[in-house]
Amino acid sequence: MYLLSDSLSEVVLVIGSLLLKLPLPVLPAQILWVNIIDDSFPALALTVEEAEGDVMSQKPRPKKESIINRQVKIIILSISIVMNVLLLSLFYILLQLGYELDHARTFIFAGLGLDSLVFAFSARSLRHSTFSKNPFSNRYLTLGVIAGVLLQILAIYHPSLQRFFDAVPLTIQDWGLLAALGFVQLIIVEIIKQTFIVKKYV
């Protein structure tokens, strides 16, 4: 679910910008960096996530029901749309505020990477809120997210990578806004989970 939602998010972001006749908010190389570099460590860490403590009390799934059932499809689509409506809106606002295109793109590049890393914590469980779980119980995920953040910073500030990605240094205010955006999106993701998943399996 984690990688599917992340990949669909980028599709929604690009299509949305084309429909609104805006410049591309992220470049192909930036998308590849987020997918292949930033997300790899959290994705691997999620494969060793411990089973939920109440797994034996869950209602059994129908035999013919696929792993990616209707509820999972809804949550993936909903998260992708919500995350990227926010990012696309911010991209438009930044351009209207007079940000240079490369600056606005770097902001969205960082936002896309950080949002996917934050989402990794919500992806640990569809039935339970991420706030009910110890965020450090999966040390591999914690290390993977830290690695992803450091790699994202490297892509923005290392001179060679900066030129390759057409990135510019972000300000402290930019990072503060990105942190706030990540928290807001985490709350929204948790609301979506409670709405579409918990009702079916509790």
pLDDT values of the chain reduced to their tens digit, one per residue, 202 residues? 555 666 677 788 889 899 989 999 999 999 999 888 877 888 888 887 776 655 545 566 666 656 666 777 777 787 778 888 889 999 999 999 999 999 999 999 999 888 888 888 887 777 777 777 787 888 888 998 999 999 999 999 999 999 999 999 999 999 999 999 888 888 888 888 788 765 454 4
pTM to 2 decimal places: 0.84
Find the length of the chain.
202
Q: Can you read off the two tokens belonging to residue 160?
A: 């060679």
**Homologous superfamily in CATH for domain 2-50+67-201:** Calcium-transporting ATPase, transmembrane domain (1.20.1110.10)
pLDDT at 1: 57
Amino acid identity at 116: S
Specify whether the CB–CB gap between 127 and 57 falls below 8 A. Answer: no
Specify whether the CB–CB gap between 90 and 17 falls below 8 A. Answer: no
Cα–Cα dist 40/143, whole Å: 12
pLDDT at 157: 95
Which residues make Cβ contacts (< 8 Å) with residue 70, sequence separation at least 6? none
pLDDT at 18: 92
pLDDT at 202: 43
Q: Can you read off the two tokens belonging to residue 198?
A: 């918990």
How do the domains of the chain map onto residue ranges?
2-50+67-201
Give the up-direction half-sphere exposure of residue 77: CA atoms within 13 A in the CB hemisphere: 8
pLDDT at 201: 44
pLDDT at 67: 62
